[in-house]
Structure 1
Amino acid sequence: MDQRPSRAARRIGAGLGLTLALVAGALAPAAAEAGPAGTAAAARTEEDTVRIMPLGDSITGSPGCWRALLWADLVEAGHTDADFVGTRPGDGCGFEYDGDNEGHGGFLVTDVADRGLLVDWLARTEPDVVLMHFGTNDVWSGVPAETVLDAYSVLVAQMRDQNPRMRVLVAQIIPMDPARSCAGCGRGVEDLNAAIPAWAAGESTAESPVTVVDQWTGFDTGTDTYDGVHPSGSGDRRIADRWLESLLPLFS
């Protein structure tokens, strides 16, 4: 188990904002000179590393190669202080990358909230930032948007219990093709995505902002998925680009 209670206490007690930690890591000469993968990880210190948890279902974890692209983009932008965290290892995506994640194929976000599964994942990995794309299986199972949002609220509360300064990036999830998923899936995704901005505004705080990331607009299930649900290569590229756009301001 990855246990760092003293790190969490130092982070909160010292009152260090995430942006200051990011800037400190970006300016550290050793981190700036380190290359991808192992050399970058070796150069980072405990305090200048920003721990990012990709959280979701199979779109995040199986194999979730948008994570590989996003990590490579962050390294290329000079942010070698980023550390992806999770209890699950990464899959092969054609090149070496930081694959740790919390993407669980087939999981419903409502079930994760009801069973309290995130509490243990957070305790074992201590993220500073969570990228959450979650709810596809709930929509497929006919779970109403309001119930999904209630689950989101439970997870955000658990994140803040672990880290009061958690930065939460929540996706408006990618569309599903009704012809290749379920008859009501297309409309279900639209309903959920339409409700997310107001939910996020109600949950966001100055200390722990909740940012909506639009992964839905412009995503074409015909070309950006291989089965109407899971992203193809072009879909992975689109997803990575949208996450990157929202992550980069945290590093400036």
Structure 2
Amino acid sequence: MLRLMPVGDSMTIGSTGEHTWRYRMWQHLCATYGDPFTLVGPRETLYDQHAGAPVSYAYAEPDFPRAHLAGWGEGWLHMAPLVGDAVRRHRADVLLVSLGLIDLGFYTNAEQTAENVRLFVAEARAANARVRMVLLPVIPNVRALNDEPFAAQVASFNELLAKTVADLDEPRSPLLLASAPDGWDIDGDTYDGTHPNASGERRIAGAFADAMHQAWGLGGAYEGA
């Protein structure tokens, strides 16, 4: 059975009442991937914005493998120390990673964030020498429209991420850089300038799905399930 672990920040964990892109990915693979698969990870909850904590199980569609390694306000800095244990305990084969916005916004500059990507990859491979990883570039949010230095850091990090993937890719543990979600529109694909609405969830799932299909022949082309 193929075991995929979604790893991310608030855009991946989602909040109360949402489907999440994790659900959209699961729907897509159910329709296009012929072999058994599941989603794995040490966490299952959504973020409850009223409680200010990840304590909600109120998914819009709760009947899917809800496991993940994602957290509201967590980035590469936070996930690098956790990923090895999560991969080992949950026997992850593929990591679907969307991180970096929170790092650049609050914790580290582009170069420091790229170093944490390298640490993350090393820790994941130490736990599973054959783990595969798909990394999504940072999607610029509304802050990037009004804060030029922040926008420059996002652009710089995305360039460094591409170089890091090229440097660290290896046949037994391939790294794959997904394309930014096709047609992403801050107004149409988010509910607050950052976090995805239903359309945004589908676009993020599509970015991961199309990368895996094109590079590895896994599943099919994404059709917005």
Find 1:242's aligned residue among 187, 207, 214.
207
Decide which of 72, 75, 78 is 2:30's aligned counterpart.
75
CA distance in 2, matches of 1:182, 1:62: 25
Percent identity at matched positions?
A: 27
The alignment's TM-score, normalised by the length of structure 2, stands at 0.82
Structure 2 runs not aligned, ≥5 long: 47-58, 220-225
Larger Rg: 1
Are 1:102 and 2:57 an aligned pair? no
Query: Which runs of no fewer than 5 residues in structure 1 stay unpaired?
Result: 1-48
What residue in structure 1 maps to residue 218 of structure 2?
A: 251
Q: Equivalent residue for 1:50? A: 2
User: What amino acid maps onto 1:61 in structure 2?
Assistant: I
**1:227 and 2:202 matched:** no
Aligned pairs for 1:180-191 within 5 A: 184-191=149-156
Structure 1 pair 139–53 and aligned structure 2 pair: CA distance change class (3 A): same
Task: Specify the SS of the correspondent of 2:5.
Answer: strand
Residues 133-188 of structure 1: per-residue CA shift (max 9 Å, x gap): 11111111162111111101111111111111111111112211127886643332
Q: Which residue of 2 aligns with 1:22?
A: none
More helix by share: 1
The one-letter code of the counterpart of 2:188 is T
CA contact (8 A) 2:182 2:207 kept: no
Aligned residue number for residue 36 of structure 1: none
The separation in 2 between residues aligned to 1:131 and 1:171, in whole angstroms, is 8
- Which amino acid is the alignment partner of residue 57 of structure 1? D
Give TM-score, length-normalised by structure 1.
Answer: 0.73
Larger RCO (CA within 8 A; separation ≥ 6): 2
Displacement of 1:245: 0.8
**After superposition, what is the alpha-carbon deviation per residue over 1:106-141, rounded to whole angstroms, capped at 9, x for unaligned?**
11312333xx22222222211000011111111111
Distance 2:36 2:163 in 1: 32
